[in-house]
Chain A
Amino acid sequence: MKIVVGIKQVPETDSVKIDPKTNNLERSGIQGIINPFDKNAIEAALQLRDQAGGEVVLLSMGPDSYTSSLRDGMAMGADKAVLVSSRAFGGADTLATGYTLAKAVESIGDVDLVLFGRQSVDADTGQVGPIVAEFLSVPQVTFAETVSLESENTIIAKRQLDSAVQDIKLTLPAVITVRKELNNPRYETPVNMKESFEKPITVWTEADLNLDPSQIGQAGSPTSVTNVYAPTKEVKKTTILPEDPVQAVSELLGKLD
């Protein structure tokens, strides 16, 4: 089975803030890490590979620095990686990103399954997986909480909606986005870390993919960001309750009714 896992490098978001005066993002000095949810996708891919044989290929779109996340993913056990990287892809929104990744999956060739984390912690909200599925014209299961191989080319995945749990049967090729609850990602081992530096990272530009140039980068992005700012906070009028818990509770209950 040939499994592609789409991964994204994200800043450690706890430390991203807006400068309240300039409204600029303060990102300097922040380390990029693999989007935590993507590790669940890598783990799922490794388990399926261990079961069915085949290979796990990591795929990402972004600058050269993204190789560090691809190495981390290979240190978990993925076999190789593809980085789609060029100025021409800059400014891509989710549609242009999904289109480009779908084209990269086609170029990797003979892919049975494409996995994604449920969403990235920094920006998008799980849109890229379904967009890639649509561009590849393959079925999808999103937010999967279990993924099991049913036969050589069918998978059954469980997904919880607000009022029901669905079992969805997919005939491969397909796209699955996975929830954090699916598994516990394995740790990188020293041996795997060492080996990850011997595994190949292929870098592709627009020239290596069979693309429509009007669908990539800024030109291929219907949306644009017009304003970035810190969230405003309304401060409420707060009643401070007395220190003694018994008094505090009786005052509270008196005022709540």
Chain B
Amino acid sequence: MDNNEIWVYVETTGSKIEPTSLQLITKAKAIADGRKVVAVVPETSSINAETTVKEYGPDQIKTLVDDHFAHATDEEIADALFQVTDKNRPDSLLFPATILGRSIAPRLQAKLGTGLTGDCLDIYYQDGLLVQVKPTYGDNVMCDIVCPDRRPQMVTVRPNTFRAEKGTGGATEIVQSKFTFHKEANSEVVATDPIINSSSKLDDAKVVIALGRGAYSDKNIKLAQDLAAKLGGMVGVSRPLTDEPEFSHDDQIGIGGASLSADLLINLGISGAVQYTVGIKNAKKIVSVNIDKDAPIFDESDFAYVGDVTDFLNALLKQVR
């Protein structure tokens, strides 16, 4: 049986609620057009994520409460979600394109035998179908994808593609879903080490100093780090620099890396390839420094400095208190 609902998977790790899930609730409400927005929250008994989720105004919150969720495997989470989705299939089911979302959604997809489009940059309804907009070939190409016959229509959506807004209006109904946590015999999370600095993830940093191939030198790295420290920000890089010893994939901005939501981004020696610029679309103020006055990065920038990275950084460090 199908219903006319949009479900959003709310990812919880420890006591943290994944921001992308909240962004998706806001987006779901914006496109719902009469459909009911339901947040599905697997959690342990101590998290009470519904208190926070409620503020974003879904029509309903379905909690799946079991203390095993503290260390659940992908198989176990997918199984729990299958139990609540299979019998009463929603029209659409939205996941954050986080590591966990990308791992659980396809398993659930295979159980449900339906379609899933990964890593969407936009979603909207047209003629009753959820249009799933997805980049391919390193974002040189965009595709619209639909899933005409099977339900739910599943997507994962890239973090920070949409903004979360606290909701107003109707009351949120909270229901505890019935399900049985089935322990998977052949896999087990044997250790979970919290990452201490997770609050300063690139995606969520307020200020980002981004270094590209044109800025790669010991001196510029040092200057950029000093500047980031002064501004309470983080250093990120374009892809070529992830091959250098100082940086790793975790520092990458762009299609294969972070999607920024910074208030201020300073691009240094970055040309502005589309694979990079998708990751900076939601940065509020963008300053770019490049010796090439025709560099495409300037099209994406609020402020352009045509000149050398080191000169600019030296001047900036001196003048910033």
Contact = CB atoms under 8 A, between A and B. Distances in A.
A230 B141 contact: yes
Chain B interface, >50% SS class: mixed
Question: Which of under 10, 10 to 19, 20 to 34, or 35 or more describes the interface residues of B?
Answer: 35 or more
A166 B189 contact: yes
Given A124-B118, A223-B117, A13 B304 contact: no
A256 B106 contact: no
Contacts of A127: 102, 105-106, 109, 116, 118
B193 A164 contact: yes
Interface string A73-109: 0000000000000000000011100110000000000
A230 B142 contact: yes
26 contacts: A94-B109, A122-B138, A123-B136, A125-B118, A127-B105, A130-B103, A131-B107, A140-B103, A142-B103, A143-B103, A164-B14, A164-B194, A169-B188, A169-B190, A171-B185, A223-B115, A225-B145, A231-B139, A236-B300, A238-B304, A241-B303, A243-B307, A245-B314, A246-B319, A248-B305, A253-B319
Contacts of A240: 304, 306
Interface of A: 11, 13-14, 16-18, 25, 93-95, 98-99, 121-131, 133-135, 138-143, 156, 159-171, 174, 179-181, 221-231, 233, 235-241, 243, 245-246, 248-250, 252-253, 255-256
Contacts of A11: 137
Contact of B315 (A138, A156, A236, A249): A249
Interface of B: 13-14, 16, 18, 73-75, 78, 97-100, 102-107, 109-111, 113-119, 131-132, 135-150, 156, 184-195, 198, 201, 248-249, 264, 274, 285-287, 298-308, 311-312, 314-316, 318-320
Nearest to B144: A227
Given A161-B99, A222-B147, A226-B146, A237 B302 contact: yes
Nearest to A180: B249
A10 to B, nearest CB: 9
Q: Which 7 A-B pairs have the closest CB atoms?
A: A139-B187, A222-B115, A125-B118, A134-B110, A223-B115, A227-B144, A245-B315
A222 B315 contact: no
Given A13-B137, A130-B110, A230-B142, A94 B116 contact: yes
A250 B149 contact: no
A130 B137 contact: no
Given A131-B110, A168-B189, A240-B306, 9 more contacts: A95-B114, A134-B78, A162-B98, A169-B189, A170-B186, A226-B145, A236-B286, A237-B302, A255-B303
A239 B190 contact: no
A99 B201 CA distance: 36
Contacts of B308: 245
Contacts of B146: 223-224, 226
B119 A226 contact: no
A168 B187 contact: yes
Interface centre among A13, A134, A222, A228 (most CB of B within 10 A): A222
Interface centre among A11, A163, A226 (most CB of B within 10 A): A163
A243 B114 CA distance: 57
A227 to B, nearest CB: 4
Given A140-B74, A168-B188, A249 B13 contact: no
Contacts of A236: 286, 299-302
A243 B289 CA distance: 11
Contacts of B16: 163
B20 to A, nearest CB: 9
B142 A162 contact: no
B303 A166 contact: no
A135 B110 contact: yes
B114 A140 contact: no
Contacts of B116: 94-95, 127, 223
B315 A246 contact: yes
Contact of A161 (B98, B114, B140, B305): B98
Contacts of B150: 222
A162 B99 contact: yes
Interface centre among B113, B287, B305 (most CB of A within 10 A): B305
B145 A134 contact: no
B56 to A, nearest CB: 19
Contacts of A229: 141-142
A143 B307 CA distance: 40
Contacts of B107: 130-131, 133-134, 140
A15 to B, nearest CB: 9
A125 B316 contact: no
Nearest to B187: A139
A238 B103 contact: no
